[in-house]
Amino acid sequence: MENQPNKRIQFDRSSLERRKAKNKKSTVTLLVLLLILIGVLIYLSRFAAQNKKDQTSANTETLKTNDMKTVTDFSLIGKNGQEISLAEYKGKVLLIVNTATGCGFTPQYDELEAMYKKLKDKGFEILDVPCNQFGNQTPGTDEEITEFCQVKFGTDFPQFKKSDVNGPNELPLYTWLKSQKGFEGFDAENKLTPILEKMFDENNPGWRETSDIKWNFTKFLVNRNGEVVARFEPTCPLDKVEAAATLLL
């Protein structure tokens, strides 16, 4: 019976130590949770600030684009990296086309060059904007693209720096072009139309409702006043494109 107080003291000490350890563990857990919460709040505040900045920038860019009324208000980057104002083409009929070197539509370069030779003395220009956004079919450098086009197809019309025509890095020119003429469908008679439509249906539902460029060799026809008058999908026969351009000359 004499050992009972000692046992009780030892039990009380052991219980106290367990409570202290438990409290310490709870405190550490709370500190960890607090640090995580602080980290999340910092991340969210930075994310919100960046998002606001991005949105402000996007809104500013949209306002700038909306203020531009004709193609001559825009510019493109040359293959040498210099900015080229499209005001240089004021008073001319323009065909602006996003091209690719390894596409099923690449042979259109032949017809485009033939059209250019036939109409350029009447005030017609083709502005070639290589793009690698569609099937990665333009992987080369600007120099390699130019060499390919000149050697294989003998192209002589102006070719600019490879650029995006869709998405966050798209050229402001293309933002404007797409706002002027949206997508109205591929040409039903072209044998590649079912292939393109199936591909888009499987991978991008709702693609018909957007004005985005769908594929390589989409063309915008601009009159002498710098206004977009027509959009031709790559499935459109080039003789129709030439006929429309000729009417504007």
Residue 215: phi, psi to the nearest 5?
Answer: -160, 175
Q: Are strands 124-130 and 93-99 parallel, antiparallel or unpaired?
A: parallel
- Amino acid identity of 161? K
- Rounded Cα distance, 215 and 108, in Å: 13
**Residues 103, 131, 149, 236: which is the catalytic one?**
103
Cβ atoms 129, 218 nearer than 8 A: no
DSSP string, 80-144: TS-EEEGGGGTTSEEEEEEE-SSSTTTTHHHHHHHHHHHHGGGTEEEEEEE---STT---S-HHH
Name, in order, each residue with C-beta under 8 angstroms of 115's C-beta and a sequence gap of 6 or more. Answer: 95, 124, 126, 238, 241, 242, 245
CB 149 within 8 A of CB 101: yes
State both tokens at 174: 């293309």
Catalytic annotation present for 131: no
**Residue 163 to residue 157: CA distance in whole angstroms:** 17
For residues 212 and 166, the answer to whether their CB atoms sit within 8 Å is yes
Q: In whole angstroms, what is the distance from residue 228 CA to residue 180 CA? A: 6
Quickly count: other Cβ atoms within 10 Å of residue 93's Cβ. Answer: 23
Q: Which residues are catalytic?
A: 103
